[in-house]
């Protein structure tokens, strides 16, 4: 068996560190706010190279609270991609905005800057590029369009902790960056958690108000808010894992290089592209397969864990039928959604495991075996 995520092994290796930190939280009985949260905000902000960070209850909270803090409301359009996890779009709607979708680039599978300009209307207030699978979107042309139309840019970096665009950490390039610490992420909590980073202190202050019922002090409510706090136990867990994140990301990149080499030349399989401007962190290693469903079943039967991210693009989800987009509205997103399969990817993935996965892919595709070298 080769797992898809390998979380059990990760937690087993970290168990002494995790238990020691959790014991501290339990003994102090400070479960909401307090020193663990404050320390994590400083440390994760520092990791990203951002001067301000606010921990929140989930990646969805991070997006929603930023949109609210930016003043998104009825009639305001926010542009994002047709191929992403639904949290990106539901946060726009829940903040009161209107979703305006664009297609993705056929090579990078991130927002296609060439289509962005045409999507801007007089009602557009912002753009949300998604750094999908840990691969940075092409930010410079996105920022150029945004600047010319006076739009804010919020990066959905939920899958891209530590990824870089032309040497800059994602999440720090636009007006704010939003991260998820869902357990499967490169930096994952043991439950739901998220964070916002920004150079804008007032924006972060507003997010902190929104996450805690609008309170600036106990029972002093400046605005109506929400329950969207990052609790101390999750912050403590994340502090332990953050110390290992840079090394884990490099291990993911190593595994991705093994995959790239071994998959080369297999007909019907396309390895993910890493653009010249990007340093990806491979939250997922998502290939394109002509017979995606057949390959998925073959790998599963061989005891190899796989994932599908995401088989139905946003505009074809029942929840977004009201947007009025039918099949063919965003052809690149639709094609990618029908072909994408995520292979096992986690820091401790070994060269032998990669070789076993690729051997199973080759058997399914009828390709001859090839070695995986260092």
Q: How confident is the model at residue 32 (pLDDT cuts 50, 70, 90)?
A: very high
Domain containing 119: what range? 7-102+109-239
**How confident is the model at residue 374, as a pLDDT?**
53
Picking from 206, 239, 272, the residue at the C-terminal end of a domain is 239
Residue 3 pLDDT > 70:
yes
Residue 368 pLDDT > 60:
no
Percent of the chain at pLDDT exceeding 90: 98
CATH number, domain with residue 300: 3.90.1150.10
Residue 236 pLDDT > 60:
yes
Q: Answer whether 118's CB lies under 8 Å from 101's CB.
A: no
**How confident is the model at residue 117, as a pLDDT?**
95
Picking from 239, 259, 277, the residue at the C-terminal end of a domain is 239
Q: What is the pTM of this model?
A: 0.96
Residue 371 pLDDT > 90:
no
Q: How confident is the model at residue 110 (pLDDT cuts 50, 70, 90)?
A: very high
Query: Which tens digit of pLDDT belongs to each residue from 284-339?
Result: 999 999 999 999 999 999 999 999 999 999 999 999 999 999 999 999 999 999 99
Query: Which tens digit of pLDDT belongs to each residue from 112-145?
Result: 999 999 999 999 999 999 999 999 999 999 999 9
Query: Which tens digit of pLDDT belongs to each residue from 169-180?
Result: 999 999 999 999
For residues 318 and 261, state if they share a domain.
Answer: yes
Residue 373 pLDDT > 70:
no
For residues 350 and 207, state if they share a domain.
Answer: no
DSSP assignments along 323-371, one per residue: G---TTSSHHHHHHHHHEEEEP--TT--HHHHHHHHHHHHHHHTPPP--
370 within a domain of the structure (yes/no): no
Residue 372 pLDDT > 90:
no
Task: Please report, to the nearest 10 degrees, the dihedral formed by the alpha carbons of residues 321, 326, 330, 335 taken in order.
Answer: 110
For residues 28 and 122, state if they share a domain.
Answer: yes
2 within a domain of the structure (yes/no): no
153 within a domain of the structure (yes/no): yes
Picking from 217, 239, 261, the residue at the C-terminal end of a domain is 239
**How confident is the model at residue 215, as a pLDDT?**
96
Query: Which tens digit of pLDDT belongs to each residue from 187-217?
Result: 999 999 999 999 999 999 999 999 999 999 9
Long-range contact set of residues 141-147: C-beta below 8 Å, sequence gap at least 24: 141/113, 141/114, 141/116, 142/111, 142/113, 142/116, 143/173, 143/174, 145/113, 145/116, 145/117, 145/120, 146/174
Residue 234 pLDDT > 70:
yes
Q: Which two tokens stand for residue 331?
A: 């052809």
Count: domains in the chain:
2
For residues 194 and 251, state if they share a domain.
Answer: no
**How confident is the model at residue 369, as a pLDDT?**
52
- Rounded Cα distance between 63 and 154, Å, is 8
For residues 176 and 253, state if they share a domain.
Answer: no
For residues 134 and 207, state if they share a domain.
Answer: yes
CATH number, domain with residue 64: 3.40.640.10
For residues 149 and 187, state if they share a domain.
Answer: yes
């Amino acid at each position: 068996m080769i797992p898809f995520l390998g979380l059990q092994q990760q937690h087993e290796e970290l168990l002494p560190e995790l238990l020691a930190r959790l014991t501290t939280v339990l003994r102090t009985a400070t479960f909401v706010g307090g020193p663990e949260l404050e320390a994590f905000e400083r440390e994760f902000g520092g990791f990203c190279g951002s001067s301000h960070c606010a921990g929140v209850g989930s990646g969805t909270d991070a997006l929603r609270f930023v949109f609210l803090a930016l003043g998104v409301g009825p009639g305001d359009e926010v542009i994002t991609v047709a191929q992403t996890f639904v949290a990106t779009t539901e946060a726009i709607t829940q903040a009161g905005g209107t979703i305006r979708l664009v297609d993705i680039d056929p090579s990078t599978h991130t927002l296609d800057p060439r289509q962005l300009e045409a999507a801007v209307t007089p009602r557009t207030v912002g753009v949300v590029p998604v750094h999908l699978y840990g691969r940075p979107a092409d930010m410079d042309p996105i920022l150029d369009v945004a600047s010319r139309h006076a739009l804010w840019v919020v990066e959905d970096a939920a899958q891209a902790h530590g990824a870089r665009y032309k040497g800059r950490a994602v999440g720090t390039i636009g007006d704010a960056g939003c991260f998820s610490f869902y357990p499967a992420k490169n930096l994952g909590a043991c439950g739901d958690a998220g964070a916002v980073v920004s150079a804008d202190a007032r924006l972060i202050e507003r997010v902190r108000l929104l996450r805690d019922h609008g309170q600036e002090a106990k029972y002093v409510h400046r605005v109506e808010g929400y329950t969207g706090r990052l609790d101390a136990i999750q912050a403590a867990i994340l502090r332990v894992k953050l110390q290992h994140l840079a090394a884990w990301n490099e291990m993911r990149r190593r595994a991705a290089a093994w995959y790239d080499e071994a998959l080369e030349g297999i007909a019907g399989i396309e390895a993910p592209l890493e653009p010249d401007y990007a340093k990806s962190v491979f939250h997922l290693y998502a290939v394109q397969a002509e017979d995606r469903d057949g390959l998925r079943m073959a790998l599963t039967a061989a005891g190899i864990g796989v994932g599908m991210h995401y088989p139905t693009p946003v505009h074809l989800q029942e929840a977004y039928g009201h947007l009025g987009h039918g099949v063919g509205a965003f052809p690149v997103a639709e094609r990618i959604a029908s072909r994408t399969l995520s292979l096992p990817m986690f820091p401790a993935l070994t060269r032998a495991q990669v070789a076993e996965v690729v051997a199973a892919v080759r058997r399914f595709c009828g390709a001859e075996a090839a070695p995986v070298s260092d």
